Amino acid sequence: FSRILIKESVVKMIIGRLRSDDVYQMAANYPAPEHRSTALSTQAAMLYVILFFQASLLKNESAAMREIVDKHFPDNWIINWYMGFTVDLSVIWAPYKAARQAIENILSLDNIKHQTVLYARKLTSLNGELKGLLQEGVLTEEYVLDHINGKLLPVMRDANVTLRW
């Protein structure tokens, strides 16, 4: 990252914007609070990359890194950062003190167990719901139009979030 010289002020502004705003305005598509990390996942991938242009934040700014991890990575520490390329934040951020401490907070055994149980339960219940919806003759044009907001979109959102985990 040192081969590309970008003004520090520009990098700070981009990081600040990615930290605080919903750049892609995805929160409207994922209104449930437990879906926030999915709504911000594209933005989080950009933030992951640009943080390396300001390594001092990764190394020294514990409060900022805690805020970033709590907002963007509370339940997903293995992220897709570009077209199928994935990274385990606990591994890649290990050399950076502030980043490592922030990610270790979400990698507690209790949190991992909680997330695993939560998504396993959701997967079981969603399988039943999806089987019912995907039976021949259920998803007619009329049914879809009548139930898109009340039943179908929430199930699709939950399925998307669950499968991403």
For the stretch 89-126, pLDDT in tens is 999 999 999 999 999 999 999 999 999 999 999 999 99
56 pLDDT exceeds 90?
yes
Q: How many CB atoms lie within 10 A of CB 100?
A: 19
* Mean pLDDT computed over 69-74: 94
* Mean pLDDT computed over 62-69: 97
The pLDDT, as a whole number, for residue 164 is 87
H helix or E strand, kind and range, residue 85? strand 85-88
Tell me the chain's radius of gyration from C-alpha atoms.
Answer: 19
From residue 135, give the alpha-carbon distance in Å to each of 121, 140, 145.
22, 11, 17
Instruction: Dig out the tokens for 97 from the structure.
Output: 């003190």
In this prediction the pTM is 0.84
Instruction: Dig out the tokens for 70 from the structure.
Output: 């709590």
* Mean pLDDT computed over 63-92: 94
* Separation between Cα atoms, residue 55 and residue 76, nearest integer Å: 21
pLDDT band at 84 (very low <50, low <70, confident <90, very high): confident
Instruction: Dig out the tokens for 118 from the structure.
Output: 């939560």
Q: How far is CA 92 from the centre of its chain?
A: 17
5 pLDDT exceeds 90?
no
* Mean pLDDT computed over 77-87: 92
Give yes or no for a contact between 101 and 62, defined as CB atoms under 8 angstroms apart. Answer: yes
Considering only the C-alpha atoms of the chain, give the largest distance between any 2 of them, rounded to a whole number of Å: 59
Which of the pair, 34 or 64, is modelled with greater confidence? 64
Phi-psi region of 84 (alpha: psi -120 to 50; beta: other; left: phi over 0): left
The pLDDT, as a whole number, for residue 70 is 95
The pLDDT, as a whole number, for residue 1 is 65
* Separation between Cα atoms, residue 65 and residue 57, nearest integer Å: 7
